[in-house]
């Protein structure tokens, strides 16, 4: 059997656009004399339609597009797709196999944990089609009657990327492939909102990985199940530290590129401080959007060090990005003059520090508005969890690039970006982190050590351990109580920050 699979990004609600992608793919498959042309889960309606399902016109559009697609199928090449609606427009999640102008087989959503799927014979092959999650496919495990009755298991999926889940996802596919003669796994890819869909569609035969599409990227392939093969395709599972950080890098670039495209924005603004976070965000933005579409703005104050400005300039010049330097001291003094009736006779403190951050936020947003660009936020997960950021200042922006990455991961990304040549100045990586809002300031003046923050947060967020359990793990009581105290105290800030690109199962402000 000749199978063609399409891995693509299908926007929620963009029914006509999605139908066009499916139609183009199917027409190509017909020319290639393919038996089965398969698209991912919810390709027609987009993944995931959510609130679109509340409106009747959406179901009408789906029904119209479905009917047109089905009518265009021929007698030899079947199209496998799924939708949240039946052909009459009623809500009835289904996956369908269409050929010769009509639906030959449809799979209803299972209920009460009992699978309602039936084996369908096409071109002499016994096919079991399911559009549910990979976990559902586990229900086939140990069911000898299913295994003996199936030649090909087709899994339609749309899996949000989370680094800690990748090993489980691949292991599950490996397990299922050992039970079935052939497994065809077709998944959505690309960024949608702050979520990145994994892709990595694959075909297994006789328990061996025979074909795998890349992570995150649009791709398609044709596979002949009868063709002999003496070699196993190498999995691209991110099983080493280098591969894991490469996977995160690619996910972030994909998310930025697709987020801008879906919002109709071509340009980005990044505030450059000479620190590690903005030093990582800028090259990610350049890779996603192109250097001519990225603008760097440096805003030194009277407290900024010469080396920070020099590092920011070197970074922008390494990337050949246009930048401007706008000192904020004159604006800061004007603000302080206006605030003198309130601020007089009080010591320099948090209000004065935050004022600098808010001036920078205003300048960045003004530049973004004037140029039709989007401001990229540069805060990381370690800082956001502890509330180390200024509302309407350094927490502003349209998308938080590093919001789901701990500080250690930001440094790992910096080294990865520099793997071939120095793009990020080494001094950005080696110097002590500082917001430079007062003379001699360092992040460590306000925060526990970043490695301790990460240990506590990983135990609390990912392993669901409470305060007592974390202390028992060997971390000091004072540090644990301080970090968890900061975490819960600053939820209100995280509720008002830009959406973060998800690369884990514990995105702050969304999952908490």
Phi, psi for 212 (deg, rounded to 5): -140, 130
What distances in angstroms separate CA 271 from CA 181, 182, 263, 300, one per listed residue?
Answer: 54, 51, 21, 11
SS3 195: strand
Is the per-residue pLDDT at 495 higher than 50? yes
Q: Which residue ranges make up each domain of the chain?
A: 2-238, 243-447
Each residue's pLDDT tens digit, 202-234: 999 988 899 999 999 999 999 998 887 655 565
For the chain, what is the radius of gyration of the CA atoms?
A: 26
Query: Are the folds of 2-238 and 243-447 the same?
Result: no
What average pLDDT does this structure show over 420-441? 86
Angle between the N-to-C axes of helices 276-289 and 306-318, in degrees from 0 to 180, rounded to the nearest 10 = 20
SS3 191: strand
The lowest-confidence range among 96-100, 249-253, 409-413 is 96-100
CATH class of 2-238: alpha beta
CATH class of 243-447: alpha beta
Residue tagged 């090909």 (tokens): 152
Residue tagged 């450059």 (tokens): 272
Each residue's pLDDT tens digit, 85-104: 666 656 666 788 899 999 88
Comparing C-alpha atoms, which of 106, 80, 105, 103 is closest to residue 93?
Answer: 106
Q: Which residues are bridge partners to 255 per DSSP?
A: none
Rounded CA-CA distance 26/6 in Å is: 9
| 373-377 and 267-271 strand pairing | parallel
Is the per-residue pLDDT at 108 higher than 70? no
User: And the tokens for 421?
Assistant: 């040549």
pTM for this entry: 0.91
Is the per-residue pLDDT at 23 higher than 60? yes
Of 238 and 103, the one with more pLDDT: 103
């Amino acid at each position: 059997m000749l199978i063609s699979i399409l891995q693509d990004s299908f926007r929620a609600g963009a029914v006509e656009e999605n139908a066009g992608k499916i139609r183009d793919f199917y027409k190509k498959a017909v020319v290639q004399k393919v038996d089965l042309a398969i698209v991912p889960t919810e390709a027609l309606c987009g993944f995931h339609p959510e609130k679109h399902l509340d409106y009747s016109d959406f179901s009408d559009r789906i029904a119209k597009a479905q009917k047109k697609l089905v009518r265009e199928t021929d007698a030899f090449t079947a199209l496998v797709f799924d939708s949240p609606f039946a052909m009459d427009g009623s809500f009835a999640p289904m996956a369908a196999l269409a050929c010769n102008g009509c639906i030959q087989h449809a799979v209803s959503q299972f209920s009460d944990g009992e699978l309602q799927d039936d084996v369908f014979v096409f071109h002499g092959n016994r096919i079991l089609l399911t559009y549910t999650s990979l976990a559902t496919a586990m229900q086939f495990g140990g069911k000898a009657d299913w295994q003996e009755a199936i030649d090909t298991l087709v899994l339609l999926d749309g899996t949000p990327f989370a680094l800690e889940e990748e090993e489980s996802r691949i292991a599950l596919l490996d397990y299922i492939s050992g039970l079935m003669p052939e497994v065809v796994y077709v998944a959505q890819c690309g960024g949608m909102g702050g979520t990145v869909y994994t892709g990595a569609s694959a075909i297994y035969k006789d328990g061996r990985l025979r074909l795998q599409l890349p992570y995150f990227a649009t791709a398609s392939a044709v596979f002949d199940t009868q063709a002999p093969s003496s070699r196993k395709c190498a999995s691209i599972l991110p099983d080493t530290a280098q591969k894991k950080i490469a996977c995160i890098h690619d996910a972030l670039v994909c998310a930025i590129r697709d987020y801008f495209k879906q919002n109709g924005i071509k340009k980005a603004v990044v505030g450059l401080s000479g620190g590690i976070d903005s030093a990582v965000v800028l090259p990610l933005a350049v890779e996603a959007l192109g250097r001519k579409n990225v603008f760097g703005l440096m805003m030194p104050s009277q407290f900024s060090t010469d080396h920070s400005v020099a590092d920011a300039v070197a970074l922008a010049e390494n990337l050949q990005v246009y930048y401007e330097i706008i000192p904020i001291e004159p604006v800061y003094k004007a603000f302080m003059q206006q605030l003198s009736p309130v601020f007089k006779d009080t010591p320099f403190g948090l209000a004065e520090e935050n004022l600098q951050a808010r001036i920078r936020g205003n300048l960045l947003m003004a530049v973004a508005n004037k140029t039709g660009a989007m401001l990229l936020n540069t805060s990381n997960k370690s800082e956001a969890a502890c509330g180390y950021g200024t509302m309407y200042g350094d927490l502003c922006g349209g998308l938080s690039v590093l919001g789901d990455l701990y500080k250690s991961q930001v440094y790992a990304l910096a080294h990865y970006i520099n793997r071939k040549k120095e793009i990020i100045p080494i001094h950005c990586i080696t110097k002590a982190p500082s917001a430079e809002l007062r003379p001699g300031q360092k992040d460590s003046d306000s925060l526990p050590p970043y490695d301790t923050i990460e240990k506590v947060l990983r135990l609390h967020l990912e392993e669901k351990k409470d305060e007592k359990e974390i202390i028992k793990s060997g971390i000091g009581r004072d540090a644990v109580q301080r970090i968890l105290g900061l975490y819960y105290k600053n939820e209100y800030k995280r509720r008002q920050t830009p959406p973060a690109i998800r690369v884990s199962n514990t995105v702050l402000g969304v999952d908490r």
